[in-house]
Amino acid sequence: MGKTKNLTVEITGMSCASCAKRIEDTIGNTNGVSESIVNFATRKATVTGRAPAEEIYKIIEGLGYGIVKEETPAVSEKEIAQSEWKKFLISTILSVPVFTISMFMIHFRFSDLTQFILTTAVIFWPGIVFFKNALKQVRHWSIGMDSLIALGAGTAYGFSVITLIKGGSGLYFESASIIITLILLGRFFETKAKGKAGEAIRKLMDLQPKMARVIRDGTEKEVPVTDVQVGERLAIRPGEKIPVDGVIIEGWTSIDESMLTGESMPLNKEEGDKVFGGTVNTTGLIYVTAENIGANTVLAHIAKLVADAQGSRAPVQRLADKVSGVFVQIVILIALLTLGGWILAGYQFNEALISAVAVLVIACPCALGLATPTAVMVGTGRAAEAGILIKDASSLELAYKIKTLVLDKTGTITEGKPKVTDLFNINDEKETAETDNKNGLDILHIIGSCEQHSEHPIGMAIVHYVREQGIDLEEVKDFKAIAGMGIRAIYNGSTVLIGSDKLMTENNIDVSGLKQKAMEIKDEGKTIAFLAVDNKAETVIGIGDVVRDTSKDAIQEINDMGVEVVMLTGDNEVVAETIGKEMDIMTVKSNLKPADKCDEIKEIQQSGKIVGMIGDGINDAPALATADVSFAIGTATEIAMEAANITLVKGDILRACEALKLSRQTMNIIKQNLFWAFGYNVLALPVAALGFLNPMIAAGAMAFSSVSVVTNSLRLRRFKL
């Protein structure tokens, strides 16, 4: 047996949800297939299991449908829409005279023959696709929308031909031609709308530049992005898009990463920083080493996630799928009963026939098949534009039910990296973030210059802080890292010590003047470092993990949505309580191991609540997997993102609020769509069966039903996050 794998196949020839259901069930019953999902809206089948691809292809083709293999260029929604439009125009040109002659009772020598010729052209030219597909379906013991259309239009046409040959009256050529015309118009609008629903992926892939400047043999060459190799050096000028994922090896610039984060503010980047394909270099010339290319780039990964999500099935869709699977058979039965009922009631055969045809035409389950997947397509696409990557439709649906949202602290509420939060100079008797001169020496200049060679996170945090102030650093002499305590260096002839109180004690440096401030900083759960110049204590520095700017607003917004916020952290109680109080989080639990977080989530779930979890680290992965819906911060570890259902590309829990809002709005749209689709068929069938709808009106109503569902789903594109 082979390995379990996912196979995605684009299918041609599906006309309605019942087609998709038949393919899905047949593939699902195949040996070696563990799961089969066929999405009518995206025209794709996703098959999980060990069955060979060729076997799956054979099954689909055996059912009378076509496939688009990987080596075959896929036909775009735009091309399909153009083809449907051409068919509609041809059908309209041929049908209008037939409709005019019939409706206005225009009689001339060959009026009946003219209707016959023009309707025959409609049936066997633009309308032939319905009859071909219907024949395929019948041949494979399957019936779908095309079967209903072919049966309805064909019956009206066939009856009229027989009547014409017999020389009788009561021709219904206009019904046959207008049915085909209106259905083609509906298909055009439906295809065009579905194309708009899938715009998210196209927009993402359009962000990828086509060319790249590669340094080869010391010469800059412009080559297709597809030719770039891992490890190659690339030159990226201001205003150009970055072609692949990589690391800056030379230069400084600002990068517009709005396509990833949804934020318009450019980010400063320097040597050693990562850059991502599709983002825009706004200011300086940079040189980048290519790390990820092609399908391995972040952009390609995002596009795949969106595509997978759009092709997945939401649990709420199952009812619609079940109904669609048997609906066509039920409709044919109702049409036969309608025909028989009218005849038994004493009406003419042609009157009974027209009512039966109206039943066949109006009852197509397309709207049911489109109700959920189109909303999911648009919803996940809209989320991706905002920097929210949703893995599957189930997560999108379940998110709106979340009653408790569990937050990790480090890297989720906070930024997850040390930053300078306090700087207190002994002679100032106050905190300051400004430069201060002591004996002609700039304090920030001293600590930044001395720490620039440190590899310790605290030293790196100090250097980052100093550089943010716009201070240039200079080289120092005799730099030495003292394990577990700090650093020593010679700055402009002065001996500088930066480090713990233990380092100060061992060097007999009096820090009593800074002790009170140091204790205050410690009480907030922060780390302290002292600065001493020539054996004299000058400054105490506070370093801590700072709260994200948006965290408090995000948590307040989550609470306002009726969702309880709980913080679970492995950090100590002092830090946890401080952050919890600052964020107005009522339930805070600290000193938790990964297994403890899982237990806490399970306990909440046992009370009947749907639990969401936001985390970022490896230690959060078990808790993310335990939660009903899990969110990973975009700066999270790969393990955390793999465990999560939803990735917030920008490291910001405000995106979680947006995900919850979008989930709720998407579910509202789905419910509206299903209500309309079910309601339409429930009301329309008896109306048609009772003779209140002629086939032409029925055809228009059926087309309108599908288009209205897709159009309603498209409202999500304008949803404000």
User: Which has the closest alpha carbon to 157: 189, 125, 116?
Assistant: 116
Q: What is the DSSP code string of 120-175? A: HHHHHTTTHHHHHHHHHHHHTT---HHHHHHHHHHHHHHHHHHHHHHT-S---HHH
User: In the numeric block, which tokens belong to residue 559?
Assistant: 């609470």
List, in sequence order, every residue forming a beta bridge with 9; answer none if it has no partner.
45
Percent helix, strand, coil in the chain (nearest 5)?
A: 50, 20, 25
Exactly one of 146, 392, 408, 628 is catalytic; name it.
408
User: Which has the closest alpha carbon to 541: 451, 607, 672?
Assistant: 451
Phi and psi torsions of 569, nearest 5°: -140, 150
Phi and psi torsions of 102, nearest 5°: -75, -50
Tokens 């087609």 sit at which residue? 19
Neighbours of 62 (CB within 10 A): 10
Residue pair 619/636 in contact (Cβ under 8 Å)? The answer is no
Active-site annotation holds for 408: yes
DSSP class of residue 345 equals: T
Per-residue three-class SS string for 455-515: CCHHHHHHHHHHHHCCCCCCCCEEEEEECCCEEEEEECCEEEEEECHHHHHHCCCCCHHHH
User: What is the bridge-based pairing of β-strands 646-648 and 629-633?
Assistant: parallel
Q: Which secondary structure element, helix H or strand E, spans residue 679, and what is its range?
A: helix 654-689
List the catalytic residues: 408
